Chains A and B, each alone.
Chain A
Amino acid sequence: MTHEKIILATEGKENQRSIDTYLANGGYTAIKKAAKMDRKAIIDLVKASGLRGRGGAGFPTGLKWSFVPPDDGKPKYLICNNDESEPGTFKDRHISSVNPHMIIEGMLIGGYTVGAEKGYIYSRWEFQLEIGYLEQAIKEAYEAGFLGQNIFGSGINFELDHYSGAGAYICGEETGLISSLEGKKGQPKLKPPFPALEGYLRRPTVVNNTETFCNIPHIITHGAEVFRRYGTEKSPGTKLFSISGALNRPGVYEVPLGYSLKKLIEEDCGGLKDGKKIKAVVPGGMSAPLLMPAQVETATLDYECMQEMGSMLGSGAIMIIDDQQDVVDLLRITTDFFAHESCGQCTPCREGTGWLKNLVNGILEGTEGPAAVDRIYQVADHMEGRTICALSDAAAWPAKSYVKNFGEEIKAYIEKKGNRA
Chain B
Amino acid sequence: MSETVTFKLNGKDVSVPKGWTVMKAAAKEGVEIPHFCYHEGLSIAGVCRFCMVKVEGRPKLEIACNLQATEGMVVSTTEDEVKEAHKWALEFHLINHPLDCPICDQAGECSLQDYYMSVGKYESEMTRPKVLKPKALDVGDQLVLDTERCILCSRCVRFEEEITKTDALGIFNRGDRATIGTYPDKRLEHNYQTNLVDICPVGAFTSKDFRFKQRVWFLKDKKAICPGCSTGCEVDVYGKPEDSHYYRIKPRHSEVNGHWMCDKGRYYYDHMNPVGRLRKAISGIEGSRKFVDTDEAIADLARKISNSSVSDMALLVSPQYTNEEYAALLEFFVTQMGVKNVYQWREPTESTEDFDGILYRGDHNANTAGLAAALKAVGLENNIENQFDDLAKSGAKLVVALAPELSSTYPSLKEQINKLEELPFVSMWTIDGKVFEYPGINHAIPMKGFAEKKGSFIGHSGVRKLEQPFPAGNEHARDLVETVEALTKVMAHL
User: Residues of A at under 8 Å CB distance from B?
Assistant: 168, 170, 185, 190, 192, 339-348, 350-355, 358-359, 362, 375, 378-379, 382, 385-388
Contact = CB atoms under 8 A, between A and B. Distances in A.
B128 A346 contact: no
Interface residues of B, number: 36
Interface string B177-200: 110000000000000000000000
Closest 7 CB pairs between A and B? A344-B178, A354-B176, A358-B128, A351-B92, A342-B175, A382-B88, A385-B60
Nearest to A384: B60
A367 B200 CA distance: 36
Interface of B: 44-50, 52, 59-61, 66, 68, 85, 88-89, 91-93, 95-96, 125-126, 128-129, 131, 151-152, 154, 171, 173-178
A185 B129 CA distance: 28
B176 A350 contact: yes
A352 B92 contact: yes
A344 B173 CA distance: 8
Given A350-B152, A385-B61, A345 B47 contact: yes
A155 to B, nearest CB: 39
B88 A362 contact: no
Nearest to A352: B92
Contacts of A168: 174
Contact of A190 (B46, B88, B96, B173): B46
A340 B175 CA distance: 6
Contacts of A190: 44-46, 66
Nearest to B171: A344
Given A351-B96, A355-B126, A355-B128, A346 B61 contact: no
Contact of A354 (B52, B59, B96): B96
Most A C-beta atoms less than 10 A away, residue of B66, B129, B171, B175: B175
15 contacts: A168-B174, A339-B176, A340-B175, A344-B178, A345-B47, A345-B154, A346-B46, A347-B49, A347-B93, A350-B176, A353-B176, A382-B91, A382-B92, A386-B61, A386-B89
B8 to A, nearest CB: 21
A52 to B, nearest CB: 20
Nearest to B97: A351
B175 A344 contact: yes
Contacts of A170: 174
A351 B89 CA distance: 10
A287 to B, nearest CB: 16
A385 B89 CA distance: 12
B125 A346 contact: no
A342 B174 contact: yes
Contacts of A362: 128
B175 A350 contact: yes
A293 B186 CA distance: 58
A388 B47 CA distance: 7
B212 to A, nearest CB: 29
A347 B174 contact: no
Contacts of B45: 190
Nearest to B50: A347
A358 B177 CA distance: 13
B88 A354 contact: no
Nearest to B92: A351
Nearest to B60: A385
A375 B91 CA distance: 13
B176 A351 contact: yes
Most A C-beta atoms less than 10 A away, residue of B59, B85, B92, B125: B92
- B contacts with A: majority SS: loop
B60 to A, nearest CB: 4
A354 B175 contact: yes
Given A190-B66, A382-B88, 20 more contacts: A339-B175, A344-B174, A345-B152, A346-B46, A347-B89, A347-B151, A348-B92, A350-B175, A350-B176, A352-B92, A353-B175, A355-B126, A358-B128, A359-B128, A362-B128, A379-B125, A382-B91, A386-B49, A386-B61, A388-B49
A345 B45 CA distance: 9
A386 B47 contact: no
Contacts of A358: 128-129
A192 B89 CA distance: 22
Nearest to B85: A386
Given A190-B66, A378-B125, A382-B88, A347 B178 contact: no
Contacts of B96: 351, 354
A382 B128 CA distance: 18
Contacts of B44: 190
B396 to A, nearest CB: 66
A348 B60 contact: no
A346 B49 contact: yes
A344 B88 contact: no
Contacts of A347: 47-50, 89, 92-93, 151-152
Contacts of B178: 344, 350
A216 B435 CA distance: 86
B424 to A, nearest CB: 70
A191 to B, nearest CB: 9
A388 to B, nearest CB: 6
A26 to B, nearest CB: 44
Contacts of B52: 386
Given A347-B152, A348-B92, A351-B95, A342 B66 contact: no
Most A C-beta atoms less than 10 A away, residue of B50, B128, B129, B178: B128
A342 B45 CA distance: 17
Given A168-B174, A353-B176, A385-B61, A346 B47 contact: yes
B48 A341 contact: no
A359 B49 CA distance: 23
B176 A346 contact: no
A350 B151 CA distance: 11
A375 B125 contact: yes
A387 B175 contact: no
A343 B174 contact: yes
Contacts of A382: 88, 91-92
Given A190-B46, A354-B131, A386-B61, A341 B125 contact: no
Contacts of B174: 168, 170, 185, 341-344
B125 to A, nearest CB: 6
Contacts of A341: 174-175
A348 B416 CA distance: 62
Nearest to A351: B92
A352 B95 CA distance: 9
Contacts of A354: 96, 131, 175-176
A370 to B, nearest CB: 13
A354 to B, nearest CB: 3
A355 B46 CA distance: 22
A351 B88 CA distance: 11
B204 to A, nearest CB: 14
Contacts of B47: 345-347, 388
Contacts of A348: 49, 88-89, 92
A233 B183 CA distance: 55
Nearest to B44: A190
A414 to B, nearest CB: 14
Contacts of B68: 192
A375 B95 CA distance: 14
A312 to B, nearest CB: 16
A354 B91 CA distance: 13
Contacts of B59: 385
Contact of B49 (A192, A340, A343, A387): A387
A359 B128 CA distance: 7
Contacts of B93: 347, 351
A296 B191 CA distance: 65
A418 B492 CA distance: 96
B80 to A, nearest CB: 14
B111 to A, nearest CB: 13
B128 A388 contact: no
A346 B176 CA distance: 10
A356 B26 CA distance: 35
B416 to A, nearest CB: 53
A378 B125 CA distance: 10
